[in-house]
Structure 1
């Protein structure tokens, strides 16, 4: 391994080059990983790629770690330079004597964004010409763009995850993954103080770009431009990843050969929460085999892939099963299948919000509508998008609606299944208005065992995972005044819609490696 500094506009980026073992001299396809998390953290990954015959380039993005530079265009500005810097790096790699000209851009999380915009461009940079773009992309758990990671598609602000990322990586040349946890240990109510915009003051260090995270509005430019892409894509995600919806949208819209690998994983691609060991695969071998097929032009056209069904050892073909499934409707007013335990009237009080980190229910607090289904008389396979329809009222001009789905086993143990959000607004002069609210609960892929009951919670907050809606009509990021909001969920016309799939067909079962790499 040797370290070089690759010239890009206004800066030079620290780059480690790993070549295959001496016995594999010559020119090789190259894997390019551009990361803000420190190129040293990818050494084992780079060595694994090199052992399989790839030249590997691992680069610290502009302003980070070995590429840190104070002042001017060399500073770290998340999402600002990745398309142009990626294009320049691809161009540089293709001129190296060890490169055969074929390049696979690889990355996870922010690094996946770096890989993707090297193909699609970003809001200021058009897609590069084919000679300056990667030949294939592996994007694992892609977190796509500034506004995309700050807000849910509903517009609701993600708080805990964004505070943690920016405390660890924002406006600094190095990383401190424990920064927020250390501060929360000292001051557990840190995230409850208002306004959200002044969080850097409470963290004790400047974060000048923090405010801009919230000023941005959601623009799925990478996904919007995906249809024009012609290179192969391998999109990797997890059903417990907060960006799973983006992973699926990217795969569906990609214009070139697209493959999907989705397991029962969180953002770190580990089992999170619950069962996942049954779906362990040799990721390194799968990635390398796919990359070889992509570089050789051996992948068949179209969108194909696999999804793991948690609670079983099986993988299912994504292109045949994902859109298919019978919607199992749990109507809130159907006493034969659902019981109303609390509500339907409750008080959403931002001073005492429903907690995202606690599945316990306080029977003395009327802070949510609470329903529970009858025990399943047979296992239920869920594979596809879930949602809830609410006929609901709020007494405040702006209201957030959270639906949390929890599985209760025969002993009453609780496990989270899904959570979704929606935001409604109306002119302040109007009284409470009845409306139908659709809450998307994301993509589910799991088997619910016999005797499972589902607990359905409808609340006005989900804190600290999400910022509290102040109910005043003010921006939740700058608001300093909070007001309670009285809610009514009408059971008539409200329902939980689940993708109860029929998965007994033998031809739907797939081998991950074979499905992805052909």
Structure 2
């Protein structure tokens, strides 16, 4: 690097004399784990390089998440292009934090230094984007797990949070949140700074100026799903989007709605797409493909689907909790799909009649409601659960927003539920839960107006939902089988 720091890399070359197009993978998760991928890229004719980022594993320097990736990525690209085995064309590829590394070398670099194409899988776009929802609430569990495993250390310990929770099952309940490193028994100097990071729109502005080809890959059960979709929507150059019924590990973490037809060979897809991107074989438009979970279909991502409204009180029958209490000491639990049957109401609960026919959903969902809280700050969480004819529950969508409305004054509140792509079978009922917390996935709002990260005092909050004028908005097709079926490989590589 420019400051003399040496970063370790593995290189795998194809057979033959070259020069070759290249692929660069930069990772904080140990470059050696990518050796099978390097061999696959090399077998396909690419010079493949995997690099430990600064301060991780065999690379020198200090590890400061998200700080050095743009400059280090550009320096590595320059080095690769100077090598005798390089044709000068480079694809930057990465998953999760590695996707941030790939994108940083595009979005933060002069045009002459950028890679020629980028593959970003489940992109963890930046500190601010990973720390908080776009609507404000802090992503507590995911960040605690990641920082415990990877933060401020040269090598990862994937079991760090699990071990800490075994010592103290109430670890994430302790306040303030900023004391988490102390209770983890680890030094994490970057932990407080994480919560000071703010989304500023710079990522989307840079994406709107990026003219290299992009392949964005995500899962409809991935926490960064909507950032993946927004990245694709803002991208200026040829852009392709692939969404499957997967979690953060993509095909290695399929949801229960996944079908055998959704088990794609992503490595083969990446190689084919990279060839098309480097040879000018991609059309310059924006194309997206999504799996319709619960069916064998793949369909185009289309923003033209108009939402269908399901009004509270008519299409959605109130079961209870029109007035409820959000108690941070007894919060709405993010990991539990069961509804409490004892104690006072902790959520507003609504349900639909059984579906008379299949319902196909493809696009962003939302709840629009009128509601009030008696505290100056309030989080509103909406969870939609699909209940099959036997009553078995399956998560469909969740959204959470932070509001600072005047106490005891009704407000119009929109809660985005994210991109949904699912076929619901006849007899399915939808259960809508409206609560005040989503813990431990998100930090608890103390309701006092204090920062949830530094607060030490928690207050209860009385809530009320007005049925009139409130509705669930779903991206429903007017009738089943209205989506044109597509082949993901053919659609994304043309």
Query: For this structure pair, what is the TM-score category when the shorter chain's length is used for normalisation?
Result: over 0.9
Counterpart selection for 1:501 from 473, 477, 480? 477
For the residue of structure 2 that corresponds to 1:181, the secondary structure is helix
- 1:423-434 paired onto structure 2 within 5 Å: 423-426=402-405, 431-434=407-410
CA deviation after TM superposition for structure 1 residue 507, in Å: 7.6
CA deviation after TM superposition for structure 1 residue 508, in Å: 2.1
| Structure 2 equivalent of residue 181 of structure 1 | 162
Q: Is contact 1:145-1:220 (8 Å) kept?
A: no
- The CA RMSD over aligned residues, in Å, is 1.3
For the residue of structure 1 that corresponds to 2:307, the secondary structure is strand
For residues 421 and 194 of structure 2, the distance between their equivalents in structure 1, rounded to whole angstroms, comes to 32
CA deviations 1:158-187 (Å, max 9, x no partner) are: 100000000000000000111101111221
For residues 248 and 14 of structure 1, the distance between their equivalents in structure 2, rounded to whole angstroms, comes to 33
- 1:31-430 paired onto structure 2 within 5 Å: 31-67=23-59, 69=60, 74-121=61-108, 127-130=109-112, 132-270=113-251, 271-276=253-258, 277-318=260-301, 322-334=302-314, 337-365=315-343, 366-426=345-405
Q: Is contact 1:325-1:502 (8 Å) kept?
A: no
| Structure 2 equivalent of residue 4 of structure 1 | none
CA deviation after TM superposition for structure 1 residue 9, in Å: 3.0
For residues 494 and 392 of structure 1, the distance between their equivalents in structure 2, rounded to whole angstroms, comes to 9
CA deviations 1:216-237 (Å, max 9, x no partner) are: 1113422221111111110111
Structure 1 stretches of 4+ moved >6 Å: none
| Structure 2 equivalent of residue 492 of structure 1 | 468
CA deviations 1:59-82 (Å, max 9, x no partner) are: 000011111x4xxxx211111111
1:456 aligns with 2:456: no
For the residue of structure 2 that corresponds to 1:489, the secondary structure is strand
For residues 507 and 152 of structure 1, the distance between their equivalents in structure 2, rounded to whole angstroms, comes to 31
CA deviation after TM superposition for structure 1 residue 444, in Å: 0.2
For residues 175 and 183 of structure 1, the distance between their equivalents in structure 2, rounded to whole angstroms, comes to 15
Q: Is contact 1:8-1:89 (8 Å) kept?
A: no
- 1:21-32 paired onto structure 2 within 5 Å: 22=15, 24-32=16-24
For residues 431 and 317 of structure 1, the distance between their equivalents in structure 2, rounded to whole angstroms, comes to 44
Q: Is contact 1:148-1:220 (8 Å) kept?
A: no
Q: Is contact 1:117-1:222 (8 Å) kept?
A: no
TM-score of the aligned structures, taking structure 2 as reference length? 0.97
Q: Is contact 2:232-2:239 (8 Å) kept?
A: yes
For the residue of structure 2 that corresponds to 1:500, the secondary structure is coil
TM-score of the aligned structures, taking structure 1 as reference length? 0.93
Q: Is contact 1:32-1:106 (8 Å) kept?
A: yes
For residues 507 and 165 of structure 1, the distance between their equivalents in structure 2, rounded to whole angstroms, comes to 38
Unaligned runs of 5+ in 1: 1-6, 122-126
State how many pairs are aligned: 491
Q: Is contact 1:105-1:138 (8 Å) kept?
A: yes
Distance 1:446 1:388, change over 3 A: same
For the residue of structure 2 that corresponds to 1:165, the secondary structure is helix
For residues 192 and 300 of structure 1, the distance between their equivalents in structure 2, rounded to whole angstroms, comes to 51
Moved more, 105-114 or 40-49: 40-49
| Structure 1 equivalent of residue 445 of structure 2 | 469
For residues 282 and 382 of structure 2, the distance between their equivalents in structure 1, rounded to whole angstroms, comes to 40
Q: Is contact 2:297-2:485 (8 Å) kept?
A: yes
Q: Is contact 1:144-1:220 (8 Å) kept?
A: no
Unaligned runs of 5+ in 2: none
CA deviation after TM superposition for structure 1 residue 502, in Å: 4.4
Moved more, 495-504 or 179-188: 495-504
Distance 1:390 1:10, change over 3 A: farther
CA deviation after TM superposition for structure 1 residue 361, in Å: 1.1
For the residue of structure 2 that corresponds to 1:182, the secondary structure is helix
For residues 454 and 254 of structure 2, the distance between their equivalents in structure 1, rounded to whole angstroms, comes to 33
Q: Is contact 2:360-2:480 (8 Å) kept?
A: no
For the residue of structure 1 that corresponds to 2:195, the secondary structure is helix
Q: Is contact 2:372-2:407 (8 Å) kept?
A: no
